[in-house]
Structure 1
Amino acid sequence: MNTPPKLNHPFLAGMLFMIVGRLCFASKSIFIKWAYTFGATPESTLFFRQMIATPLFCIIFLMYRAKLSEKPAKADIVRAGITGLLVFFLSPLLDFIGLHYVSAIVERMLVMSYPIFVMIISFFGKMEKITAADIISVVVVSIGIFFSIGGWNLHELSANIFGAFLVLLSSAVYGLYLVLSGQLVRKVGSIRMNAYGMSLASIAMVLFLIARKGFGYQTELWSFQPPVYFLFFIIAVFTTVVPFLFMLEGIKRIGAVRGSLISMMGPIITIIFGAFFLGERLTWIQWIGCFIVLSMITFSEGRKIKLKLRA
């Protein structure tokens, strides 16, 4: 049974790393929405995020290289790159496009549903046991999602349905990534996974833009106002790379389980930021839906974390 941690300097430093990292990550949707108000497109936002973040992840990989385990097998490297396409290309692409149509608050609630997709994918793909509590979680979260995108308010529902569908699809893709990469992360390591995955995703993003808009896509990428590129830099560095690095260092000091507890504050931060910085307002039925999703996911994940702490 785990004993309570002593409040020593490494533990306090780990807590600080985790909190700051989670604050930065939770602000991602806010900065993306700001970029959209200046005319940025979802594709261009993701493109610059990848182009700026990829070399930084590679630098982090080189910095930690001496401390990493032996180089993984080539097959595992290939698998890391392929699964990286899910988490660094397809999932964020769907999320960024969906965020163009829904509020940052609603987007965060929908993204939170990924544990439900992990459960469903594991059941059908790996035939893992599913309990009555799991089924209740799926039903309750589904009801919460319906309310969060408008419920019976047809005006709100029609305004949010397309964006919500894309964000939920993004969440499902992320859930698929978690299922496929479970053992792979242990073999390859999260630092290598990020460097390999982001590198391949950057190539995929360029090919996607060429396929969709031709080689003239570069003209659009450099046609935005100067503040947009500053926001792109913030999105890439302070809401993507910094959270990864800080949470990596935080987990090293306080452990993954306690780190997960701190990570659960993320949606609350996004709600506060969305209301304060973007002036987002939801209907009462949407707030009820957000509360249902947040409460159910927090309860389910908290129960799992509690069991791990007791182990």
Structure 2
Amino acid sequence: MRKIDPQRSSGLIVKGKKIQIKHKDILGLILMFLGTFFFASKSIFIKLAYEEGANPEATLFFRQLIAAPLFILILWLYRPRYPKNTNKKDIVRASLCGLFGFFLSPLLDFLGLNSVSAIVERMLIVTYPIFVIIISSIIQKKMISYGNLITIVVIYFGIFMTIGGGDFSLLQANLKGSFLILLSSFVYAIYFIMSGNLVHKLGSVKLNAYGMITASFFMFLYLAYKKIAGYSLHLFGFSNTVYVMFILIAVISTVLSFVLITEGIKKIGAERAAIISMLGPILTILLGRLFLKEHLTVTQWCGCLIIFLAITSLELYNIRIKKNKNLINSKEG
């Protein structure tokens, strides 16, 4: 009897040729899509919590409170895959990454979401690659390429249209929240650059676990400062619906999305995973329309489209460049 290869599915006939599809590829695509979908739902859950009376500080506080122990558990489960000893300098660097990527960036994002729609937030937060380009050019003391410069200008024009364009009243209403979210995107770009080599040394699980622990520590310091300074803090006494949203934000949109995306990348590779992750803004738009009944003006929709197309073209270009470099390195090796 002929043995069936467990790594292959039934053949697919395309233009007379039989193409074998690996089961692990299908599973990887499903995991990556689900992870992207769950992450895209984050701003929806946050807005629903705000509608029920939650505030940004309480929402982020409970996200850290619930997610940090879960990341520690995941780190323990994944421990056989990573070296037991971790360099102290790497731990310090991971902690700094946590400060920028898991505390400051989300805090600014959550504060900004209090005054803009989930759709606008998502379109602004995905602009972090342009900040990566700008910061990297400053660090490396290199001029930004002509193509990247045009992309940056196009994206900024898209941002202007997304937050209101020529409608002064709409622009004024979105200005504060949009500024905070763009600042969040800038801070995330710093985290992205800092974590570049570190994620390869520690692994994404360790980096996220250390980062979330550090973020929780800084969250407590931030809340303590606000309390001592006399600012009003409302962290408890919400409805059951709000606490359900807090759990969904932490478990579904933070921890589960990370695990699914991590496993998806392992099965299909970073390049294909990056392409699937580009569906995130589209999914947020659909969810925002469905659950929040969000409406944008024609100008705002045009701005969203400009940002999406510009960022997508930039990411696809980077993927192609990376693929060509890997091909050259493999030939030289």
What TM-score bracket applies, with the shorter chain setting the length? Answer: over 0.9
- Which of 219, 225, 229 pairs up with 1:205? 219
Measured in 1, the distance between the counterparts of 2:184 and 2:233 equals 28
1:16 aligns with 2:30: yes
**Structure 1 residue 178, shift from structure 2 partner:** 0.9
Provide closer, same or farther for how the CA distance between residues 261 and 83 of structure 1 changes in structure 2, counting only shifts above 3 A: same
Q: Which amino acid aligns with 1:44?
A: A
SS in 2 for 1:182: coil
- Which of 141, 153, 172 pairs up with 2:186? 172
Among the aligned pairs, what percent are the same residue? 50
1:51 aligns with 2:82: no
Higher RCO, 1 vs 2 (CA within 8 Å, ≥6 residues apart): 1
SS in 1 for 2:196: helix
1:220 is aligned to: 234
2:8 is aligned to: none
Q: Indicate conservation of the 8 Å contact 2:94/2:207, yes or no.
A: yes
**Structure 1 residue 309, shift from structure 2 partner:** 4.0
Provide closer, same or farther for how the CA distance between residues 6 and 161 of structure 1 changes in structure 2, counting only shifts above 3 A: farther
- Which of 187, 205, 211 pairs up with 1:191? 205
SS in 2 for 1:109: helix
Matched residue count: 307
SS in 2 for 1:220: coil
2:262 is aligned to: 248
- Structure 1 residue ranges without an equivalent (≥5): none
Q: Where do residues 1-311 of structure 1 align in structure 2 (5 Å cutoff)?
A: 6-214=20-228, 220-310=234-324, 311=327
Q: Which amino acid aligns with 2:134?
A: I
Q: Indicate conservation of the 8 Å contact 2:97/2:211, yes or no.
A: yes
Measured in 2, the distance between the counterparts of 1:6 and 1:103 equals 44
**Structure 1 residue 226, shift from structure 2 partner:** 1.1
Q: CA-to-partner distance for each residue in 1:193-249, whole Å, 9 max, x for gaps?
A: 111110011011011011112499998322111111011000000000001000111
SS in 1 for 2:275: helix
Provide closer, same or farther for how the CA distance between residues 155 and 216 of structure 1 changes in structure 2, counting only shifts above 3 A: closer
- Structure 2 residue ranges without an equivalent (≥5): 1-18, 328-333
Measured in 1, the distance between the counterparts of 2:109 and 2:157 equals 21
**Structure 1 residue 126, shift from structure 2 partner:** 2.2
Q: Indicate conservation of the 8 Å contact 2:36/2:280, yes or no.
A: yes
Q: CA-to-partner distance for each residue in 1:73-103, whole Å, 9 max, x for gaps?
A: 1011111011111010000000000000100
TM-score w.r.t. length of structure 2: 0.89
Q: CA-to-partner distance for each residue in 1:159-185, whole Å, 9 max, x for gaps?
A: 000000000000000001111121111
2:4 is aligned to: none
Provide closer, same or farther for how the CA distance between residues 131 and 219 of structure 1 changes in structure 2, counting only shifts above 3 A: closer
Q: Indicate conservation of the 8 Å contact 2:67/2:250, yes or no.
A: yes
- Higher Cα Rg, which structure: 2
Q: Indicate conservation of the 8 Å contact 1:209/1:217, yes or no.
A: no
**Structure 1 residue 6, shift from structure 2 partner:** 4.9
Instruction: Please say which of residues 215-224 and 40-49 is displaced more in the overlay.
Output: 215-224
Q: Indicate conservation of the 8 Å contact 1:117/1:175, yes or no.
A: yes
Q: Which amino acid aligns with 1:246?
A: L
Q: Indicate conservation of the 8 Å contact 1:22/1:243, yes or no.
A: yes
Q: Indicate conservation of the 8 Å contact 1:30/1:278, yes or no.
A: yes
**Structure 1 residue 10, shift from structure 2 partner:** 1.1
Measured in 2, the distance between the counterparts of 1:144 and 1:226 equals 39
